[in-house]
């Protein structure tokens, strides 16, 4: 069936319902096609415009948050306890989720957060203004967690991935916010994620759970941006292959 026949069937579908129906002549279908094409094109343009507006809104929101955080950090460096409290409260939950993912230990994670802010406060006179507070805190906190893990596990060696002594185990709680999909599908995703390398699991967590961009992930994990892209690409490829096997 050609496009003319398809449109004819579609456009004439209500001829027995509408008493004022006037059959569309075959010669008029070109104009009908044009109108439909214009509607489709308009919808696509509108969709693109909405997408760009959403991106612009996200950019403005992120930029506003970055400026606010820079001001907080500046006040913190000048000795403002109010600024310290604001930073602590703003980032505590994010750091706790990240630390729990790295260490798997709630008590250690809480201790690391408190120790981190205590160190920052004591050494504030030696700290400098920063461009983005979130990746700075994530990286500092990550290093602090590594130090704590090394103290707990002094037998860690290069063979045991000394640079990344993390577990980073995904569980059902990571997917509680998104209830779409069956229990079986979620279980398959969790199992596939936990079969990835530690670096891949951490990069995926930072990208898709904490929503950091490539540049900030590179800062946190102390890597270059291209390496982050490669790790994420290989991780997602492996994840897809594991899911297909399942």
pLDDT for res 47: 59
Evaluate whether residue 216 is within a structural domain: yes
Token code pair at residue 232: 């994420």
Average pLDDT over residues 54-60: 44
Q: How is residue 210 annotated by DSSP?
A: S
In the chain, the number of structural domains is 1
pLDDT for res 10: 39
Say yes or no to pLDDT of 142 above 90.
yes
**Alpha-carbon span 239 to 216, nearest angstrom:** 23
Token code pair at residue 158: 């290069």
pTM: 0.66
Say yes or no to pLDDT of 39 above 70.
no
Q: 43 falls in which pLDDT band (50, 70, 90)? A: low
Closest by CA to 14, choosing from 2, 25, 5, 23, is: 23
Token code pair at residue 184: 């079986």
Least confident piece of the model among 139-153, 161-175, 176-190, 200-214: 161-175
Say yes or no to pLDDT of 73 above 70.
yes
Evaluate whether residue 209 is within a structural domain: yes
Evaluate whether residue 239 is within a structural domain: yes
CA atoms within 13 A on the CB side of 69: 19
Evaluate whether residue 227 is within a structural domain: yes
Evaluate whether residue 123 is within a structural domain: no
Evaluate whether residue 195 is within a structural domain: yes
Average pLDDT, the chain: 74
Coil vs helix vs strand at 217: helix
pLDDT for res 42: 59
Q: Are 115 and 144 in contact (CB under 8 A)?
A: yes
Decide which of 181 and 90 is more confident. Answer: 90
Q: Identify the CATH number of the domain in which residue 186 sits.
A: 1.10.10.10
pLDDT for res 41: 59
Evaluate whether residue 233 is within a structural domain: yes
Q: Are 166 and 103 in contact (CB under 8 A)?
A: yes
pLDDT, tens only, 179-191: 555 677 777 888 8
**Alpha-carbon span 139 to 214, nearest angstrom:** 14
Give residue 205's domain range: 168-246
Evaluate whether residue 183 is within a structural domain: yes
Decide which of 46 and 177 is more confident. Answer: 46
């Amino acid at each position: 069936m050609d496009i003319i026949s398809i449109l004819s069937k579609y456009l004439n579908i209500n001829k027995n319902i509408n008493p004022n129906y006037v059959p569309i002549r075959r010669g008029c279908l070109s104009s009908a096609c044009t109108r439909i094409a214009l509607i489709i094109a308009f919808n696509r343009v509108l969709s693109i415009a909405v997408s760009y507006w959403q991106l612009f809104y996200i950019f403005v929101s992120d930029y506003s948050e970055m400026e606010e955080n820079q001001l907080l950090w500046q006040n913190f460096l000048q000795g403002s306890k109010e600024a310290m409290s604001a930073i602590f409260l703003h980032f505590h939950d994010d750091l706790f989720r990240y630390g729990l993912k790295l260490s798997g230990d709630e008590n250690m994670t809480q201790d690391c957060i408190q120790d981190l802010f205590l160190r920052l406060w004591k050494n504030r006179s030696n700290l400098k203004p920063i461009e983005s507070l979130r990746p700075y805190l994530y990286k500092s906190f990550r290093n602090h967690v590594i130090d704590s893990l090394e103290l707990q596990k002094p037998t860690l060696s290069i063979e045991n991935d000394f640079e990344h002594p993390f577990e980073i185990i995904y569980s059902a709680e990571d997917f509680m916010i998104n209830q779409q999909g069956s229990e079986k599908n979620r279980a398959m995703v969790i199992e596939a994620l936990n079969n990835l390398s530690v670096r891949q699991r951490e990069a995926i967590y930072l990208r898709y759970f904490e929503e950091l961009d490539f540049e900030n992930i590179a800062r946190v994990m102390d890597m270059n941006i291209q390496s982050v892209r490669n790790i994420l690409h290989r991780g997602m490829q492996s994840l897809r292959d594991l899911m297909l096997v399942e």
